[in-house]
Structure 1
């Protein structure tokens, strides 16, 4: 069996056609613990609504902030209601971008990881974990080198198990036999 890519899209979209309520089931609850980085004054859309909509857009294949904003603007009214948005008042692309850039990425990753882990099916075969390193595009400035991250993913489910920053060198990976499936 080929390894699944470790993306949010493949982790959620492998099931047959589901409604938004079924696909995003439990996501608002998983995101409820995220602290909202915005000031209380002038908040029109709850953090959980905006982030859940962005996650659904990514699952649907929309990857840029502009594409996520288009997905939110074009989604049918029933889907908007299922996500907690008022159909005639939806978050703009600029607001989605600013909010997603302001949210703590470690906490967001952990919250989505908890949600994905709850959706993961049990694997009957041995557990395979894929480890990969990437250089984050756009992270290099004139003063700082590009950021490198290393991620470990469960190949059966595509769920990201851990992600750490590395300094260009690959850290040692210790084999732990107690993690065998």
Structure 2
């Protein structure tokens, strides 16, 4: 797999998945998820559509070791097992320093909760 900076940002995260179940690197799944959300995709089906629409370009860019991209369900499973405190390494990648007491919305439920306040 190519060593793009966004993949390297996630490379050091612990992967809780069983070794036998790891078809795709966790760093690749997180990088694709991050780019898909940054491209405006909301929800796993939209991410799956985005992966299909840009499949050839993403394979050429990331050069995944298996030669194909993870499915949206694989990315979903990676996210379900992710310790979100570790995902904050993305803030270092983008050189973002949150202010004391500042929260960062990570999904629609958090955003909805902020709207009720």
Identify the residue that residue 107 of structure 1 maps to in structure 2: 86
CA shift in 2, pair 1:69/1:87, >3 Å = farther
Task: Tell me, yes or no, if the aligned pair for 2:24 and 2:66 is still in contact at 8 Å.
Answer: no
Question: Which TM-score applies when normalising by structure 1?
Answer: 0.49
Corresponding position: 1:32 with 2:11: yes
SS at match of 2:21: coil
SS at match of 2:19: coil
Cα distance in 2 for residues equivalent to 1:133 and 1:77: 32
Contact 1:77–1:87 (CA<8 Å) still a contact in 2?
no
**Whose strand proportion is higher, 1 or 2?**
1
**CA shift in 2, pair 1:44/1:138, >3 Å:** same
For the Cα contact (< 8 Å) 1:54–1:68, is it kept in 2?
yes
What's the TM-score, normalizing by structure 2? 0.73
Q: Which has the higher helix share?
A: 2
CA displacement at 1:83 relative to structure 2: 2.3
Matched with 1:165 is: none
Please give the per-residue CA displacement for 1:139-168, whole angstroms capped at 9, x wherever unaligned.
Answer: 8xxxxxxxx68xxxxxxxxxxxxxxxxxxx
Q: Runs ≥4 in structure 1, deviation > 4 angstroms?
A: 129-134, 136-139
Instruction: Provide closer, same or farther for how the CA distance between residues 55 and 132 of structure 1 changes in structure 2, counting only shifts above 3 A.
Output: closer
Partner SS for 1:36:
coil
Residue in structure 2 matched with residue 64 of structure 1 by the alignment: 43
Q: Is the 8 A contact 2:55 2:69 kept in 1?
A: no
Query: For 1:79-115, what per-residue CA distance to the aligned partner results, in whole angstroms no more than 9, with x for missing partners?
Result: 2231233696321121111111111101012x11110
CA RMSD of aligned residues (A): 3.3
- Whether 1:92 and 2:71 are equivalent positions in the alignment is yes
Choose from 30, 37, 42 the match for 1:51. Answer: 30
Unmatched 5+ residue regions in structure 1? 1-20, 121-128, 140-147, 150-181
**Residue of structure 2 equivalent to 1:116:** 94
Gap runs ≥5 in structure 2:
none
